[in-house]
Structure 1
């Protein structure tokens, strides 16, 4: 992070991240163990989905989540997100339980609880200079864009909200985002883009997990 964009809140924010992630990992350990067994039975191995994502300043890290999709299989006709996402995977996404392993990324310092969502490495060359400012802070498990509608928010608006968060991050804003996110998870709104099972890729089409 550049010195010009550091805020006094950032150190306290990191303390919150470590404390909450550590407690949440312990508290959800039985749930994660049970989910790992169910994912193994439904989708096979590996249980976890890992993908390289850009973190703060664009530095890559490996994001971890529970798998929700089958592997690409041309013989079986499993290519698109719609074909690969199982009913079980849809339920995991609607409840956001697939995100629980991401707490490890928070504890490690790859991510924050609140911040712009980490997207695909391929997007780095597609951002405008303004949009690229979303990487001035650690990416988050949830963020202002997610609290404002999750995947129902168009890409351009999502990036504008990400930059707005970078400029205005504070304890009060983080608390508001956390509450709004919890309400959205409980009501299961905004899980996917209208007309899609996930979210269309920004700027181009590709076959990918689509879990953004």
Structure 2
């Protein structure tokens, strides 16, 4: 209960204080990338239950001759890359925190299609609310392997505490300022999870 109250108060305060930044970023996205300004996608929340996560849009809607979206690397613009490196694209997720769908700290919400690919141990990452930032994000972010990321997520589930959350929030600020681990090697964002090769 204390974690939920803390999340709500900090998210509300952040949305109020960052309102000018959110308005400016929204305007720039509309000008540089077009509309819609926000990117919404169904993601798994606590216990794997779906919710609609909202982020700032970072890619253009470029498609090939068959009407299929081009790869992320071809749709990512310099401005979109800047939003990701500075984590400004994550600011709208504070609204998900206010609604109780996310927490400030927890395993990042991934794709719904990954759910059947997890091992039982990996699925334990859904025993808590997904977070805007998490233990995996401050220990490599998208530059570590999926296996490492899931082990860090489950470690957080087993060791979560208020002091650990404060530590993660502090380290997140440092990571954002350093723009560290934004993408996987050779990837515009993070490579897709295709399951566990040993299962």
TM-score normalised by the shorter chain: which range applies? over 0.9
State the 1:52 CA deviation. 0.3
1:51 to 16, 26, 41: 41
Match of 1:187 in 2: 178
What is the aligned partner in structure 2 of residue 209 from structure 1?
none
- Inter-partner Cα distance in structure 1 for 2:127 and 2:135: 15
- Secondary structure at 2:120's aligned position in 1? coil
**Is the aligned partner of 1:113 residue 2:104?**
yes
Distance in 1 between residues matched to 2:21 and 2:30, nearest whole Å = 14
TM-score for both structures, normalised by structure 2: 0.95
Q: CA deviation at 1:78?
A: 5.5
- Using the TM superposition, give the Cα deviation of residue 140 of structure 1 relative to its aligned residue in structure 2, in angstroms: 0.2
Cα deviation, residue 72, structure 1: 4.2
Residue among 1, 24, 29 paired with 1:39: 29
**Equivalences for residues 2-13 of structure 1 within 5 A:** 11-13=1-3
> What's the CA shift for 1:174?
0.8
Equivalent positions of 1:62-81 (< 5 A) are 62-75=52-65, 79-81=70-72
Structure 1 length normalisation: TM-score?
0.89
Greater shift, 178-187 or 70-79, is seen at 70-79
C-alpha deviation, 1:149, in angstroms: 1.1
Q: In the alignment, does 2:19 pair up with 1:29?
A: yes
> Match of 2:151?
160
RMSD: 1.3
Q: Give the CA deviation at 1:179.
A: 1.2
Structure 1 stretches of 4+ with a deviation exceeding 2 A read: 75-78
How many pairs were matched up?
194
Q: Which runs of no fewer than 5 residues in structure 1 stay unpaired?
A: 1-10, 205-212
Provide Cα deviations, 1:73-104, integer angstroms capped at 9, x if missing partner. 11398510100111110000011011111100
Q: Which residue of 2 aligns with 1:61?
A: 51
Q: 2:120 aligns with which of 114, 129, 151?
A: 129
Structure 2 residue ranges without an equivalent (≥5): none
